[in-house]
Structure 1
Amino acid sequence: MRACVFDLDGVLVDSEPVWEEVRRAFVAEHGGTWQPDTQSRLMGMSTAEWAAYLGSLGVAMPAGEIASAVVERMAARYRDAVPLMPGAVETVRRLSGQVTLGLASSSPRSLIDTVLAAAGLAECFEATVSTEEVPRGKPAPDGYLEAARRLEVDPRECVAVEDSSNGLRSAHAAGMRVVAVPHPRYPPAPDALALAWRVLPDLGAFTVESLS
């Protein structure tokens, strides 16, 4: 393993409940209908992709306006407090002294930078990628491939840390070994979890030694 590439939402930040609350309320306020599988579909999508999807639920606004409004609401929530996952800061800081770290996230660049700065983790990552910066969001491998490119490491020599179905599929499609840390509220689908090289109960169990 030459590098480790983290997902952000659901791995380092317990943001999926916040994303669901914010987007669900936005859809309801604008006359749309939230479907039972909406949250699972949205996880991993790029900003442009999920904004277009909210439009398909009946939100009669241009996708760009949807994205701007929702991201601003998320930024406001983060300004109040960033909901870090247990052990996130300690794990990243510990690993950063042992292996090169990258990040491949579906969050927009502005939220990635806000979270990492608030957590004091920005200096731990050699490269960070938003799916805004690549052609396709997860489950396509684009974000992870771009992270490996920026780190100047072969994807096959990288470990990815993921929680969601689309994230697991994305990292696996990029050729990385995937460590799954399933979110208790949003567990990945069994077929996606089966792609994982290791499955860990939480970030506290994630060490370089555990990957040998």
Structure 2
Amino acid sequence: MPDFPPIKACIFDVDGLLINSEDIYSQTMNNVLHEYGLPDIPWSVKAMQQSRGRQGFINVMQWANLPITVDEFQAKVSTQRDPFKNCELLPGVQQLLYNLSERVQSSPPHLAIASSAERDFFKLKTDRFRSVLSVIPEHHRVFGHDPSMAGCKGKPAPDIFLQTLQRINGSLGADEAQSRPEECLVFEDSIAGVEAGRAAGMRVVWVPHPGLLEVYRGREEMVLNGGLLDEDAAMVGSFPTSSEGEIEERGPVISKDGRARLVTSLEDFPYAYYGLRIRH
């Protein structure tokens, strides 16, 4: 394990990380694309849409050359909410949350959520398993439309993670030590989220959708090292494409500085690597 301080806080994204809503988001966009006789959005384009707010929709529109405005596109997508009532927890989520909240020896880490989504939409998507998520305190949950996020930038800017850390520290007792960014572990599925976590000075666990991972086969370390998606970069016309050929089996994929690591499933979360000892 690299020489890092112990983990005091774990901050989770939601969509595509805790729940399978990313596939549903894809389908809602595909439904709109189909209205105009267009094919499904490929993961090479979706990579530029995930966790990027309005700019993400612009990226999709420029790829698809849709004859509507960004606001119209977002409205057509956002009205399709019923399918999200059927969201499911992704593999390993329930056990991971239980282990982190109940089975960590000595001091369990503080658990928090940092999601760009709306709070009410989060409730709709997670109502069926709110008991599982109850280990994450309500006052440790930060959403993109919260008043505390007014004036803040979305991912890949670090603002939402820094706001979440501030929320955690604000809930501590007078005798409890404040958590520093380097003592926080961010769980993310999107590339923009990985960059936001790194920009916040935190450590990052990247758990990508299989479709996203396929796009970046052979370039995983580029994602983990950060700086892959520059906000000023001209992305349209330069979307990444999947690597070709056989992919050789490798050991753990970790950034050069050890701050970010690829985990293909939360079922395989490496507790020991982060100094978390789990009682058996």
TM-score by length of 2: 0.64
Contact 1:104/1:129 (8 A) holds in 2: yes
Contact 2:46/2:60 (8 A) holds in 1: no
Query: Hey, what does 1:158 align to over in structure 2?
Result: 184
Pairing partner for 2:128 from 109, 118, 121:
118
Pairing partner for 1:15 from 17, 21, 33:
21
Q: What pairs up with 1:1-212 in 2 under 5 angstroms?
A: 1-29=7-35, 37-46=44-53, 48-51=54-57, 53=59, 57-61=65-69, 63=71, 66-73=73-80, 75-79=81-85, 81-97=86-102, 98-120=108-130, 121-126=132-137, 127-133=140-146, 134=149, 135-152=152-169, 153-187=179-213, 190=220, 191-194=222-225, 195=255, 196-206=259-269, 208-212=271-275
Q: Which amino acid aligns with 1:24?
A: N
The 2-side partners of 1:132 and 1:43 are apart by: 17
Aligned residues: 208
Q: Which amino acid aligns with 1:149?
A: Q
Contact 1:33/1:58 (8 A) holds in 2: no
The 2-side partners of 1:24 and 1:78 are apart by: 15
The 2-side partners of 1:145 and 1:53 are apart by: 26
**Higher helix proportion (structure 1 or 2):** 1
Q: Which amino acid aligns with 2:90?
A: M
Identical aligned pairs, as a percentage?
A: 26
The 2-side partners of 1:175 and 1:154 are apart by: 9
Residue 207 of structure 1, CA deviation: 5.5
Relative to structure 1, the CA distance from residue 62 to residue 193 in structure 2 (aligned partners, 3 Å threshold; closer, same or farther) is closer
RMSD: 2.6
What's the CA shift string for 1:91-150, capped at 9, x where partnerless? 123212332111112333222222333222342223122233433221111111111111
SS of structure 2 residue aligned to 1:41: coil
The 2-side partners of 1:59 and 1:13 are apart by: 32
